[in-house]
């Protein structure tokens, strides 16, 4: 897949080097600028920087060198013009909505998105006159039918959570643009190491940096990547006014993590592929959802759109909730948590945790059954993970 940016360096090089600036101390690793504000040489310089006539740092709510380094590195990796960092993935999504939408506007969103995104679109935005229609991710016809004259955003997450369905990004970008809307992609599951939605025509990328961008389960953070004009004129003024900014410490953690993003994502994918194939052949497993399997309905599309299938898969165990909980409890190397994208493998029962607040009808529509388990494959040795799953399944 082409890297759609003008930078001459390849992805791995950008991951290690983009955004780095050295201070007068000549440090080799990026420093943390743990300061809330910045000082000026003189009253006249302060006035010039405040007026925008001179470049300079003012206050860390809207400008900090460590946060900026993370933003520049992520923008380079996504092939985007500019990025802004946020306190969480949700504040990144909220900020995109607040900077693009007004009372009366409408969003079309794939049904199988992160549960809290549904909570934001369904429970919060209607208070401000913004409504959302949820559609079947893989049906272009459903997206088309849901578009109204007031539709400003098509919002999609691909691969979806937890069933790993794949949306056709190029087709959705064309549909959005033909209707005067923007395509916003939550690129959390793939990260730019595996998928660069801007290259397929998407307008805005949102990230939960909490997941693979950190990749080690330490900090909560988010980011938005897009055109400089949108970020400078709409998103940055919202960030400055509302303050959902990322802390310098978290930015430093994420910045360091981007240096290993490419090799981590390759290994997560390699191991997940092996585990998905093994599960598919297991007699107690009814079905495995993983884009890297030939049995996946959008396997070919995933191959065109992603460099690798990613580290998340889900599978349905025979025996419903009791069997799924048993498998969770009998594993030793899979942490029971709702997070994903960690070096440590994770097992989640979506129906009673991440997607537990959805109505039974919504769960049915999304295919979240009682026997479904989601795995986020970490960086432990694959053979140890397989032995652990083999034992857990034998206890059902």
Ligand X SMILES: *Cc1c(COP(=O)(O)O)cnc(C)c1O
User: Which residues contribute to the site for ligand X (CB under 6 A)?
Assistant: 88-90, 114, 116-117, 157, 161, 186, 188, 208, 210-211, 220, 222
Q: How far is the CB of 59 from ligand X (least distance, A)?
A: 24
- What's the rounded Cα separation, in Å, for the pair 342 and 305? 23
Residue 234: count of CB within 10 angstroms of its CB: 16
- Considering the complex, state which of residue 89 and residue 323 has its C-beta at the smaller distance from ligand X: 89
- Considering the complex, state which of residue 188 and residue 375 has its C-beta at the smaller distance from ligand X: 188
Q: How far is the CB of 94 from ligand X (least distance, A)?
A: 9
- Considering the complex, state which of residue 165 and residue 186 has its C-beta at the smaller distance from ligand X: 186
User: What single-letter DSSP state applies at residue 305?
Assistant: H
Q: How far is the CB of 189 from ligand X (least distance, A)?
A: 6
- Considering the complex, state which of residue 14 and residue 94 has its C-beta at the smaller distance from ligand X: 94
- Do the beta carbons of residue 158 and residue 185 sit within 8 Å? yes
- Considering the complex, state which of residue 291 and residue 382 has its C-beta at the smaller distance from ligand X: 291
- Considering the complex, state which of residue 114 and residue 236 has its C-beta at the smaller distance from ligand X: 114
Q: How far is the CB of 119 from ligand X (least distance, A)?
A: 11
Q: How far is the CB of 342 from ligand X (least distance, A)?
A: 12
Rounded to 5°, angle at Cα 287 from 285 and 292: 115
| DSSP string for residues in 308-339 | S--SEEEEEETTHHHHHHHHHHH-SSSEE-S-
- What's the rounded Cα separation, in Å, for the pair 392 and 7? 48
- Do the beta carbons of residue 377 and residue 386 sit within 8 Å? no
Residue 10: count of CB within 10 angstroms of its CB: 10
- What's the rounded Cα separation, in Å, for the pair 189 and 195? 9
Burial of residue 104 (CB within 10 Å: 0-12, 13-18, 19+) is exposed
- Considering the complex, state which of residue 222 and residue 378 has its C-beta at the smaller distance from ligand X: 222
Closest CA to 206 of 257, 154, 138, 133: 154
- Do the beta carbons of residue 58 and residue 37 sit within 8 Å? yes
- Considering the complex, state which of residue 156 and residue 393 has its C-beta at the smaller distance from ligand X: 156
Q: How far is the CB of 203 from ligand X (least distance, A)?
A: 17
- What's the rounded Cα separation, in Å, for the pair 363 and 331? 25
Q: How far is the CB of 65 from ligand X (least distance, A)?
A: 23
- Considering the complex, state which of residue 116 and residue 335 has its C-beta at the smaller distance from ligand X: 116
**Order of strands, sheet of 346-348, starting from the edge strand that comes earlier in the sequence:** 285-289, 312-317, 372-376, 346-348, 335-336
- Do the beta carbons of residue 66 and residue 57 sit within 8 Å? no
Q: Which two tokens stand for residue 216?
A: 């080690």
Question: Which residue reads 């007699």 in tokens?
Answer: 283
- Considering the complex, state which of residue 88 and residue 99 has its C-beta at the smaller distance from ligand X: 88
Torsion of CA 279, 345, 354, 288, to 10 degrees: -10
Q: How far is the CB of 157 from ligand X (least distance, A)?
A: 5
Q: Which residue is nearest to ligand X (CB)?
A: 89
- Do the beta carbons of residue 183 and residue 154 sit within 8 Å? yes
Q: How far is the CB of 199 from ligand X (least distance, A)?
A: 20
Q: How far is the CB of 310 from ligand X (least distance, A)?
A: 12
Question: Which residue reads 């009673």 in tokens?
Answer: 352
- What's the rounded Cα separation, in Å, for the pair 287 and 289? 7
């Amino acid at each position: 897949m082409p890297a759609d940016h003008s930078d001459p360096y390849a992805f791995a090089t950008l991951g290690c080097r983009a955004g780095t600036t050295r201070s007068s101390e000549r440090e080799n690793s990026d420093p943390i600028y743990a300061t809330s504000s910045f000082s000026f040489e003189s009253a006249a310089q302060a006035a010039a920087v405040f007026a925008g006539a001179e470049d300079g740092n003012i206050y860390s709510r809207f400008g900090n060198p460590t946060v900026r380094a993370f933003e520049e590195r992520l923008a380079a990796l996504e092939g985007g013009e500019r990025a802004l960092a946020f306190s969480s993935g949700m504040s990144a999504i909220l900020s995109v909505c607040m900077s693009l939408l007004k009372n009366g506007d409408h969003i079309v969103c794939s049904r199988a998105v992160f549960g809290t995104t549904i909570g934001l679109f369904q429970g919060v935005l209607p208070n401000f006159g913004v409504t959302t229609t949820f559609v079947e991710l893989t049906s272009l016809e459903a997206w088309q039918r849901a578009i109204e004259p007031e539709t400003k955003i098509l919002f999609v997450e691909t691969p979806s959570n937890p069933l790993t369905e794949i949306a056709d990004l190029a087709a959705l970008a064309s549909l959005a643009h033909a209707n005067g809307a923007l395509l916003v992609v939550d690129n959390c599951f793939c990260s730019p190491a595996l998928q660069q939605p801007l290259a397929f025509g998407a307008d805005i990328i949102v990230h939960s940096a909490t997941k693979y961008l950190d990749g080690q389960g330490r900090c909560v953070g988010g980011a938005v990547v897009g055109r400089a004009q949108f970020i400078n004129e709409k998103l940055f003024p919202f960030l400055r006014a509302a303050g959902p900014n990322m802390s310098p410490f978290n930015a430093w953690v994420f910045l360091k993590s981007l240096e290993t993003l490419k090799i981590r994502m390759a290994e997560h994918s390699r191991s997940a592929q092996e585990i998905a194939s093994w599960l598919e052949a297991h007699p107690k497993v009814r079905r495995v959802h993983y884009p890297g399997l030939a049995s996946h309905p959008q396997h070919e599309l995933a191959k065109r759109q992603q460099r690798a299938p990613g580290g998340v898969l889900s599978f349905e165990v025979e025996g419903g909730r009791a069997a799924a909980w048993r498998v969770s409890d009998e594993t030793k190397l899979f942490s029971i948590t709702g997070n994903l994208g960690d070096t440590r493998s994770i097992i989640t029962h979506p129906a009673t945790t991440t997607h537990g607040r959805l109505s039974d009808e919504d769960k049915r529509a999304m295919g979240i059954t009682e026997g479904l388990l989601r795995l986020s494959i970490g960086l432990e040795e694959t053979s140890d993970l397989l032995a652990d799953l083999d034992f857990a399944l034998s206890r059902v």
